[in-house]
């Protein structure tokens, strides 16, 4: 069973990432705990009112094996080209305890963050839950680069927006 502290930390991390994305995208629709293209995504944002680029964020707790957790996220990038990936993929490393050192990715993780053909790169965000100011909770460690787009990913986004209410969106 998951502890209450862990559940609260995960929720706070998702909120911090949601805030980060809503301040960097134009009129995004944001979904928490989304099931997108057969995969669980902690935070999914579709830009431009649900008609633009797809941003998928996977939350990873900083702990003794953060490298292995990041390798798992990165492994989803090196999949066969028949699998459709979002335009932007992020791993959000969460610091939920005082005194934890800021995460620095290894050279191996940096290499695995790229798509096989080099078009696209997984970004790594650092979420510090120990800070009180939400503006400073999310920092970019490794900037995400856009993966290839396709007709299929656009169609998936359109279907997803039509079938799921957003957790956060700009409303008139």
List all residues 6 or more positions away from 156 whose beta carbon is below 8 Å from its beta carbon. 36, 37, 54, 84
pLDDT digits (tens, 9 = 90+) for 125-149: 988 887 666 555 888 999 999 999 9
pLDDT of residue 106 exceeding 60: yes
> Which of residues 103 and 157 earns the better pLDDT score?
157
pLDDT of residue 79 exceeding 70: no
pLDDT of residue 20 exceeding 90: yes
Start-to-end CA span in the chain (Å): 41
DSSP single-letter state for residue 85 = -
Backbone angles phi, psi at 37, to 5 degrees: 55, 40
Q: In what order do the strands lie in the sheet with 88-95?
A: 138-142, 123-128, 88-95, 54-61, 39-46, 29-36, 168-169
Span 68-84, mean pLDDT?
A: 69
pLDDT digits (tens, 9 = 90+) for 62-74: 665 677 778 877 7
Rounded CA-CA distance 16/129 in Å is 9
| pLDDT for 8 | 85
> Which of residues 69 and 116 earns the better pLDDT score?
116
Confidence of residue 93 (pLDDT cuts 50, 70, 90): confident
Q: 0.85 cut: is pTM over it?
A: yes
Beta strands 54-61; 88-95: pairing state? parallel
DSSP H stretches of helix in the chain: 4-24, 47-50, 66-75, 107-112, 151-163
Span 27-43, mean pLDDT?
A: 94
Mean pLDDT (the chain) is 85
Backbone angles phi, psi at 162, to 5 degrees: -70, -30
């Amino acid at each position: 069973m998951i502890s209450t502290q862990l559940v609260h930390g995960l929720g706070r991390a998702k909120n911090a990432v949601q805030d980060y994305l809503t301040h960097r995208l134009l009129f995004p629709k944001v979904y928490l705990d989304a099931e997108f293209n057969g995969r669980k995504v902690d935070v999914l944002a579709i830009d431009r009112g649900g008609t633009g680029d797809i941003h998928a964020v996977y939350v990873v707790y900083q702990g003794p094996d953060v490298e292995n957790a990041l390798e798992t996220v990165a492994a989803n990038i090196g999949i066969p080209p028949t699998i459709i990936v979002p335009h932007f993929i992020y791993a959000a490393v969460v610091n939920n305890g005082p005194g934890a050192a800021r995460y620095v990715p290894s050279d191996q993780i940096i290499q695995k963050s790229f798509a096989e053909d080099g078009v696209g790169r997984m970004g790594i965000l650092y979420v510090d839950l120990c800070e009180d100011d939400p503006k400073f909770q999310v920092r970019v460690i490794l900037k995400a680069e856009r993966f290839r787009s396709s007709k299929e990913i656009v169609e998936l986004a359109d279907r997803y927006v039509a079938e799921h209410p957003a957790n956060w969106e700009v409303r008139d």
